[in-house]
Amino acid sequence: MTDWVEVRRGAYHDSVTLMRASRALSERPDVAAAMVAMGTALNLDLLARMGFDVPSDAGPDDLLIAVRVGGDGLDDVKATLDGLLREAPRATVTEAEVAAARTVGAAAARPGSGATVALLSVPGPHVFPEAMDALDAGLNVMVFSDHVPLDQEIALKEAAARRGLIVMGPDCGTAVIGGAGLGFANAVRPGPVGVVAASGTGAQQLMCLLDAAGVGVSHVLGVGGRDLSPEVSGRSALAALAALDADPGTELIVLVSKPPAPQVADLVREAARRLDTPVVFALATTGEDDLTAAAERALRALRRAVPAWPRWTASRRPAPAAGRALRGLFAGGTLRDEAETIALAALGRDLDARGHRFTDFGADAYTRGRAHPMIDPTLRLAAVRAEAADPGCGVLLLDVVLGHGAEPDPAASLAPAIADAVDDRPDLAVVVSLCGTPADPQDRDRQAAALCGAGADVFASNAQAVRHALSMVDGPRREESTG
């Protein structure tokens, strides 16, 4: 084997392009390992774990290339990579269009644009002037970017309030405006439920469960994961509640959030009590409804039947893993928070001491210089292999989130990883929370069949998946939602 390690100074490519290049090289039969990424601290550490020697002066503005190749294929690998980077998709516009719209504000001012929302996805430290330009142009703003300074988030939301607009985000991964999905959004039917979401995957779980019950959404307004923090104090959540209350097509509002600051939760509840439209809360914290229970409450409020939530059971039945640990490896932060909250209620406060762990691979620490794990599964697949090799791990709990913007076929890589894990460890149980709809581009039912065939029990309800996993490490228990 030959290691090729190269640092290209100041050569920037977006994380999705680099992920695709890494995957294309890794799929070659003569390549044992490959990674093409920006030189962030996380990626440098990952390359070191892969056994590559990386120059110590490589930095986050540098492109790292590390390939372990066998035989005489190195020259061809180099040529292939250069071709992949050279042929990366680029937006094509005419010279007239470039001249007419060099800023967000200029684009909004073009005759006939009719724009009401600007979606920004640029590096977080550079978001503020672009967002202010959009607000000044009279546009609501969805900020997909993370790593935006907190003081800038507050300033943007205050500026939006003065203009009667809403800032969705920063770190707003999901929105649905009048049936149009933005960011990571599932293909769901239109309907009477409006969603205010300080959580992207929480909103996706909720709308997918409603869709499974035959109920659709009017709008999903993401507000960013920090909106219900003490500093931001629910500025966008309050604006979104008011907007949905004024919408004649919204009969019920559901507010879903990562664990909020208690004083901000009280503030938002008080605002909700003053609305004409009823509000259901789904807050990922102890004593609150989980997402499935919140969906069931919403259905009952609409006088709709609560269905049996879809599940797919693997033919293999590993022995109970009592005494061994539950390891949750999540792409969705709120799904991870919900899992930990349910586990704490079931097992008590000593989860770490008993070896139980819940990891969010979409957290900022894992996404600097990398695509989100809903797009790039590399880090989580490595974690699946590592946990399966640990004899102390008895149950693996994973989420798979489908929809527009997400990986086109997550089961293509995850199902073989699960199959390898259970082949090596017949005693290992694998449980998957599958968030999606049959109409999603990935086809929920096809994904479920592949994951189930690999040896995983699959649940459309994240809460039910968690309780099922817990039943195997802590004895039998109820697996249904409690709502």
Assign residue 153 the CATH number of its domain.
3.40.50.261
Do the domain assignments include residue 103? no
Residue 324 and residue 238 in one domain: no
Do the domain assignments include residue 325? yes
Indicate the range of 120-124, 343-347, 366-370, 445-449 predicted with least confidence: 366-370
The domain boundary residue, chosen from 301, 336, 356: 301
- pLDDT, tens digit, for every residue of 315-356? 998 887 777 899 999 999 999 999 999 999 998 878 988 899
Do the domain assignments include residue 466? yes
Give residue 21's domain range.
2-86
- How far apart CA 96 and CA 103 sit, in angstroms, is 14
The domain boundary residue, chosen from 68, 86, 104: 86
Residue 275 and residue 152 in one domain: yes
Residue 249 and residue 191 in one domain: yes
Strand residue runs (E) in 42-161: 63-69, 117-120, 140-143
What pLDDT does residue 1 have?
A: 83
> Does 91 score more than 50 pLDDT?
no
Residue 342 and residue 260 in one domain: no
- pLDDT, tens digit, for every residue of 361-418? 988 788 776 778 898 898 999 999 999 999 999 999 999 999 998 999 999 999 999 9
Better-scored residue on pLDDT, 4 or 16: 4
Residue 431 and residue 356 in one domain: yes
Structurally, the chain folds into a number of domains equal to: 3
CATH number at residue 43: 3.30.70
Report the relative pairing of strands 393-401 and 357-360 from DSSP bridges.
unpaired
Residue 77 and residue 141 in one domain: no
Share of the chain above pLDDT 90, in %: 67
Do the domain assignments include residue 96? no
Do the domain assignments include residue 102? no
Residue 197 and residue 294 in one domain: yes
The domain boundary residue, chosen from 301, 330, 353: 301
What pLDDT does residue 234 have?
A: 97
Do the domain assignments include residue 34? yes
Residue 208 and residue 259 in one domain: yes
State how far the alpha carbon of 299 is from the alpha carbons of 132, 172, 206, 257, in Å: 39, 26, 11, 19
> Does 474 score more than 70 pLDDT?
no
Residue 317 makes CB contacts below 8 A (sequence gap 6+) with: none
What number of other Cβ atoms are within 10 A of residue 345's Cβ?
A: 13
Residue 271 and residue 351 in one domain: no
Q: CA 252: distance to chain centroid?
A: 25
Please give the helix or strand (H or E) that residue 435 lies within, else none: strand 429-435
What pLDDT does residue 54 have?
A: 79
- How far apart CA 434 and CA 447 sit, in angstroms, is 8
Residue 146 and residue 14 in one domain: no
